[in-house]
Chain A
């Protein structure tokens, strides 16, 4: 099993709910109207010490250690890299969307422009070039961070 090496950390204290991450992701992936690969949401306002408050949540693919979407994909298009990034190999995808049904959060989405599934791949092409994912690079308030995970006791680098 390829354990995931990266995760996105969302600092809710710094997030202002401006939805820029969604746009930066869509522009980077050249997506049409429809699929949105990361999403900002919030609960309705609630009074906390007399101030109406809420916090923003950020959600994109969790890149599960044991992804159900990969198991469900009939063509082997949904893959997991050695560093744990789960991604769609577009050359193999037939757009059947079984992956979305298998995912407990229905993360994979249908891209009407290509007729194939699409999901967050942590901008692996950028990571491979030593860059950060689009949502992290351009987050308005630097509320998103790419965090490198390592097994307990292992030293960094």
Chain B
């Protein structure tokens, strides 16, 4: 249902889902609204019901419903033609990140293309790259033990709205236990109302605040000297760099009271090492988000919170539990040696070449440099909703001869594509075995709860059909899910039946922590230490620290467009769910009270939100609890798929307003700068106070 993928238990009667709850062992039955509304997705007719091939121009909505044989035949023939003419490297496959990307990654490599990618440059790439540069471990390299921490500090991480059930309960348990919460954002949120300290900062100044905090931490000596001496490198450089960035300066820059930062640091000085600066999830926001993210990682290291209860625990894998990991599909194929079309790994050597950066493929499509890109297959990934400026994206997509969407719902990309291969919903499909790394690693899989309502297939079935037709059976010889599970599980020593008891297979019964005095070798940086000064970045002439640059202020009458999440929707793909749509059918535009007054806007008035060529009209929410420079909306609305009658053209689409931002990337972090758009706001002329008709 949503990409948090909380583990669930489903009760079924006569092929009807009667009850969905959180896994009793992992979540105690708890589930959020989105998880609960899965039944409505299952029974919704407004999702693709059979394979479809476009019969009119792209986006015209003219479709021919076809059989699976015909759809697979069509895709395979097109792929073969493209590969014959432009080579296998001209095919790009993108998926939503997560535990099952292995399947499609392997498929891409089996085709002979190195160009596997995902959505992450509009999400967590900055955090990931920053984490790699500091720890040598990626974004998911740590488990945060929030439950046992003394103080959780969140920088715009609206943890209670971007809801993962387990994580939210950790936060609430921490608060119940008397833990402290500090929340920093450009507006008040569901999370901020639970906080003990709330800083409303000027948009784009997170980095300044972080530098000010580091400065103050060093000035007060409020850091773990022993840990820093033993496991880090570059402390002197860090100290010298942050010297000019005093707490007073930072407070002025962010618009908070100077005494607040000092008081905050005095407080965490008594609580460390059990202080967590949450590393954030989606940080594709500003031009300095990568460096802001590095500063967050550095603060955690200064707290000395690594590998302790109530801190950041290095994620453990199967080997740490004395178990062989399950087999992966990528082990069956050889990664093509061809260089990637997005330039990652050769042109951009500081980026992780595992998934590269999706938006850079658009450049390759347009320029045919380094080589032409002619086919794009998106599995559960909707670039037109995920990335800015869909019109610019469509221009690049024009150069592709084949666009294939594999999804459970009509994504905007699916609507624009040539072929839709409808995937069964998570209640109607199995998935291969995956390993959940963490302090307590476990194996999990998804079982089919009910038979598909419509003519849809599971992801592995779709790959199986494509592999057979394309002659790739060496890579994917499997016909039944049981064969896949058995093959994957063989080295682990577990069997499929072992999932029966709990729905997952725990590999340990207690959290695994490395001894804190034996962390040598656990950090995969070039030096083997935590690197305040990154050897990798420096070797590529990229500075480890970046001087702070104040973000520009919006011109008069314009505002910085920021976006976020609501707890009842996940990105763009739940907006049309009948149950969730009833709770939240449209989004609004938050605007600061004083600014609204200047513009003559009152609560509930219709306002026009205008970029260069795009305009939306939505209701205003007037509040004093948003920074005057910013306007805010919930992402995912303003959809334009006519088959989705509930969400069609309802509300405001932030990414459609982000004209010109498609290649606006943090050059060091690789994340897009999605909060760098100024929009014009005015009271809509459509605000009739009088009624002329009878």
Contact = CB atoms under 8 A, between A and B. Distances in A.
Interface string B555-582: 0000000000001100000000011101
Task: Tell me the interface secondary structure of chain A in the complex.
Answer: loop
B498 to A, nearest CB: 26
A47 to B, nearest CB: 9
A16 B160 contact: yes
B625 A142 contact: no
B349 interface: no
Contacts, number: 94
A145 B193 CA distance: 22
B289 interface: no
A1 interface: no
Interface in B514-564: none
Contact of A142 (B28, B193, B194, B567): B28
B582 A137 contact: no
B195 interface: yes
A20 B32 contact: yes
Interface string A19-35: 11011101110000100
A45 interface: yes
A17 B19 CA distance: 22
Interface stretch (B46-54, B139-147, B164-172, B371-379): B164-172
Interface in B148-162: 160
A19 B190 contact: no
Interface string A132-150: 0000011111100000000
A140 B163 contact: yes
Interface stretch (B33-41, B80-88, B460-468, B486-494): B33-41
Interface string A44-63: 01000011111000000000
Interface in B183-199: 188, 190, 192-198
Contact of A138 (B31, B175, B188, B623): B31
B243 interface: no
Contacts of A33: 578, 582
B248 interface: no
Interface string B12-42: 0000000111100000111111011101100
A17 B584 CA distance: 13
B193 A20 contact: no
Nearest to B579: A23
Contact of B625 (A20, A36, A45): A45
B176 interface: yes
Given A24-B31, A140-B165, A16 B190 contact: yes
B404 to A, nearest CB: 33
A27 B579 contact: yes
Interface string B235-257: 00000000000000000000000
B36 A27 contact: yes
A18 B580 CA distance: 11
A16 B188 contact: no
Contact of B169 (A23, A28, A137, A141): A141
Contact of B198 (A13, A17, A18, A51): A51
B37 A28 contact: no
B614 interface: no
Report the contact-size class of chain B (Cβ under 8 Å from the partner): 35 or more
A18 B40 CA distance: 18
A33 B583 CA distance: 10
A139 B175 CA distance: 17
Contacts of A24: 31, 36
B193 A52 contact: yes
Nearest to A143: B172
Nearest to B20: A27
A140 B35 CA distance: 10
Contacts of B195: 51
A21 B521 CA distance: 47
Given A16-B160, A139-B30, A140-B31, A53 B168 contact: no
B624 to A, nearest CB: 8
Contact of B32 (A14, A18, A26, A54): A18
A20 B33 contact: yes
A140 B176 CA distance: 15
A134 B143 CA distance: 31
Contacts of A22: 33, 583
B36 A14 contact: no
Contacts of A53: 193
A16 B169 contact: no
Contacts of A51: 192-193, 195-198
B193 A138 contact: no
Contact of A14 (B20, B176, B579): B176
Interface in B389-435: none
A52 B36 contact: no
A19 B37 CA distance: 11
Nearest to A141: B172
Contacts of B568: 18-19, 23
A78 B351 CA distance: 66
Contacts of A17: 190, 567
B192 A23 contact: no
A67 to B, nearest CB: 28
A110 to B, nearest CB: 15
Interface string A113-130: 000000000000000000
Nearest to A30: B39
Contacts of A18: 32-33, 160, 163, 168, 190, 567-568
Contacts of A27: 20, 36-37, 39-40, 579
Contacts of A138: 21-22, 29-31, 36
B192 A137 contact: no
A14 to B, nearest CB: 5
Contacts of B188: 45, 52
A137 B29 contact: yes
A14 B172 contact: yes
A28 B19 CA distance: 7
Given A23-B33, A27-B579, A52 B176 contact: no
Interface string A90-126: 0000000000000000000000000000000000000
Interface of A: 13-14, 16-20, 22-24, 26-28, 33, 36, 45, 50-54, 137-142
A-B pairs with lowest CB-CB distance, top 4: A18-B567, A23-B36, A23-B33, A52-B188
18 contacts: A16-B160, A16-B163, A16-B190, A16-B194, A18-B568, A20-B36, A27-B579, A33-B578, A33-B582, A51-B197, A52-B193, A138-B21, A138-B29, A140-B32, A140-B33, A141-B169, A141-B172, A142-B169
Given A16-B168, A23-B583, A140-B31, 5 more contacts: A18-B567, A23-B36, A27-B20, A45-B623, A51-B198
